[in-house]
A and B are shown apart, each in its own frame.
Chain A
Amino acid sequence: MPLLELRNVASYYGNVQALKGVSLRVEQGELVTLLGANGAGKSTTLKTISGLVVPAQGEVLFEGKPVQKLGPEAIARLGISHVPEGRRIFPGLTVRENILLGASNRKGVPRRQLEEEADEKFTIFPEIKPFENALGWTLSGGQQQMLAVARGLMARPKLLLLDEPSLGLAPLIVQNLFGTIRKIRAAGTTILLVEQNANMALSVADRGYVLETGSLTVEGTPQELLGNEEVRAAYLGGHHG
């Protein structure tokens, strides 16, 4: 049984159909990436999984159970942590407070334990440790992205949804961040990664899907996708390799 399975999911934004029958699966322990151009429906796919968008049709199965009727709070409690596009740091809370609130989906964990877990996150992301008492809005884009991932990990997710973590970051910081994503995966967290930076995403993924205007077109291992002429032309700049 896959950890996550989408069966023929269709979602709308108002009157616009953003997803047209998407079916995909993520196995336990996998790192799967979802590639595609701007507006292809990548973010909508993640929002449909985490409950921010309710699908008009189809099923979202998490650990074999349908979750497409549940709200985001309930889905978070099942163990899906969504780190959305744009980081969405709480601007008026400190870095440490942002991280602590990441565990809001877990009931009855004592404050002291949460503080210890927050300290662990600072060892994964030492760059943001000096700013632990600074307000969220004061961080740079790269620091906010690390904070967003750290906060997402506080949920102790069975499945981590990462939406465009490289967006707007300098190449060196992207390298660093993807190194950390690799480590998170190695520590046993299943990840569904949405990226426009296809080279970077395929360098860490086990499998990938390509989404085009609301439909999945290609699926395969990184080698298969890198070898596919159309995919290379569309998402890898054409001259790769």
Chain B
Amino acid sequence: MQFVTENLQILFTGLGLGSIYALVALGFVLIIRATNVVNFAQGDFAMLGGYAMVLFFTGLGWPYWIAFIGALLAMAVFGVLFNYGVYYPLRHRSFLPVLISTLGASIFLQNTVLYVAGPQPKPLDKLLNFDGITLGGVFLDSQYIVILVATVALVFFTFLFFEKTLLGKKLQATSQDKDMARLLGIPVALMIAITFIYSAVLGGIAGVLVGPILFVSIGMGSIIALKAFAATIIGGFGDVKGAIVGGLLLGVIESLAAQHISVPYKDAYAFLALFLFLLFRPQGIFGEKVSEKA
């Protein structure tokens, strides 16, 4: 019994952390599909969201929800700036210059925040005013509950948006064949800008959600992004379902392995899982075996 509750406890924590990876991974995948580029600043979207929340809530003393909405709006504006500053000028180039541009943006953002906010990690209050609930011997931390509920809601919303609306279909068409989309009169540049906004907001939400657990810090985005990137490969590169499942799976693997094998190597297990997948199932869970699309 002790064994079961202990592992359920770990599973719960793992799913919570995995949700964060999943949200960032989802942002990765949406941008990969729209632009064929891996956005190395994806993790910094989470970091910026966290700092925006700290600024509005702790710094300016706004009510939590207002600060949260403010942080999301700030991230949406940032998504526009990122699109036009980092991606748009290089949109006719191959993927490499764009990739380097996002890498540069990542370094720039981290150092700008370091300059403005200083090196000390910032604490952030939980959304709910209670510690959590105990259910059958398993303690459910309130912030983890918030993370899980928010992730389910966001995944559901993303599904509705991309699968049920014409705008979502236009975004998909843009990611599948840009020239054809243009011939149909779909404003491709606008579609890509919307994708960046959506990704930035998703990343920002992940940062606000995880802030109370990990502290808000300059480097928080880097480690989350590395794991989210591993999650996109494990799930199947460029696959939306894969990003979510891969993220959750990594969170669980990491937590179980930390408990049962060794805590100090916590951050290594995600990459061990990545190695094993690359060796035995390089196309990932949902990926198809195609080397290069025509």
Measured CB to CB, the residues of A under 8 A from B are 50-52, 71-73, 76-77, 81-82, 84, 88, 90-93, 97, 100-102, 104-106, 111, 114, 151, 155
CB contact between B169 and one of A76, A93, A155 (< 8 Å): that residue: A93
**Contact indicator A90/B185 (Cβ below 8 Å):** no
List CB contacts (< 8 Å) of B145-188 with chain A: 166, 169-170, 172-173, 176-177, 179-188
Q: Which of B181, B182, B185 has the most CB of A within 10 A?
A: B185
Partner of A155, one of B170, B179, B185, B188: B185
Interface centre among B173, B181, B183, B186, by most A CB within 10 Å? B183
* Contact pick for B177, options A50, A77, A90, A97, CB 8 Å: A90
A73 and B179 in contact (CB under 8 A), knowing A90-B172, A90-B173?
no
Contact partner, B179, options A52, A92, A106, Cβ 8 Å: A52
Given A90-B172, A93-B169, A111-B166, A104:B179 Cβ within 8 A: no
Taking A90-B176, A90-B177 as contacts, is the C-beta distance between A72 and B182 under 8 angstroms? yes
Q: What are 7 contact pairs spanning A and B, CB under 8 A?
A: A72-B179, A76-B183, A84-B180, A84-B183, A90-B177, A101-B169, A105-B184
Interchain CB contact under 8 A, A77 and B185: yes
Contact, CB under 8 Å: B188 / A73: yes
User: Are the C-beta atoms of A105 and B185 separated by less than 8 Å?
Assistant: yes
Given the complex, which residues of A lie within 8 Å of B185, measured CB to CB?
72-73, 76-77, 104-106, 155
Min CB distance A181 to B, Å, is 19
Q: Which residues of chain A are within 8 angstroms of B170 by Cβ–Cβ distance? A: 101, 104
Measured between alpha carbons, how far is A59 from B3 in the docked complex, in Å? 78
Whether B176 pairs with A101 at a CB distance below 8 angstroms is no
Whole-angstrom CA separation of A114 from B188 in the bound complex = 21
Residue from B166, B176, B182 in contact with A100 in the complex, judged by beta carbons closer than 8 Å: B166
8 nearest A-B pairs in the assembled complex, by CB-CB distance: A105-B185, A76-B185, A72-B182, A88-B180, A104-B185, A104-B184, A104-B186, A90-B176
Complex: how many Å from CA A97 to CA B166? Answer: 8
**With the chains together, A77 CA to B185 CA distance in Å?**
6
Contact status B173-A93, CB under 8 Å: yes
Docked Cα-Cα span, A106 to B166, in Å, equals 13
**In the complex, given contacts A84-B179, A100-B166, what are 17 additional A-B residue pairs having Cβ atoms less than 8 angstroms apart?**
A51-B182, A52-B182, A72-B179, A72-B183, A73-B188, A76-B183, A81-B183, A82-B183, A88-B183, A90-B172, A90-B177, A90-B180, A91-B176, A92-B172, A93-B172, A101-B181, A104-B181
Chain A nearest CB from B75 CB (Å) reads 28
Residue-wise, chain B 175-206 has the 8 Å CB interface mask toward A (1 for contact) of 01101111111111000000000000000000
- A111–B8 alpha-carbon span in the complex (Å): 46
Chain B residues with Cβ under 8 A from A51's Cβ? 182
Which of A71, A76, A114 lies in contact with B184, CB distance below 8 A?
A76
- Tell me the complex Cα distance, A101–B172, Å: 11
Contact B177 A100, beta carbon cutoff 8 Å = no
Residues of A within 8 A of B177 (CB): 88, 90
Q: How far is the CB of B29 from chain A (nearest CB, A)?
A: 13
- In the complex the two chains form, what is the Cα distance from A45 to B58 in whole Å? 61
> With contacts A93-B173, A101-B173 known, is A155 near B182, CB below 8 A?
no
Find the A residue at minimum CB distance from B189: A73
- Of B176, B186, B187, B188, the residue contacting A93 (CB under 8 A) is B176
For A79, give the chain B residue with the smallest CB separation: B185
Distance between B262 CB and nearest chain A CB, rounded to angstroms: 42
Chain B neighbourhood of A105, CB < 8 A: 184-185
Q: Which residues of A contact B187 (CB under 8 A)?
A: 73
For the complex formed, measure the closest distance between the CB of A146 and the CB atoms of chain B, giving whole angstroms.
16
- Chain B residues whose C-beta falls within 8 Å of the C-beta of A97 in the assembled complex: 169
Tell me the smallest distance from the CB of A11 to a CB of chain B, in Å: 16
Among A50, A93, A100, A106, which residue has its beta carbon within 8 angstroms of that of B183? A50
Instruction: Please give, as numbers and ranges, the residues of chain A lying within 8 Å of B169 by CB-CB distance.
Output: 93, 97, 100-101
Q: Mark B245-277, 1 if CB is under 8 A from A, else 0.
A: 000000000000000000000000000000000
Residue of B nearest to A83 (CB): B183
Docked complex Cα distance between A237 and B186 (Å): 41
Alpha-carbon distance between A105 and B184 when the two chains are bound, in angstroms: 6
Residue of B nearest to A52 (CB): B179
User: How far does the Cβ of B192 sit from chain A's closest Cβ, in whole Å?
Assistant: 13
Judging by beta carbons under 8 Å apart, are A101 and B182 in contact? no
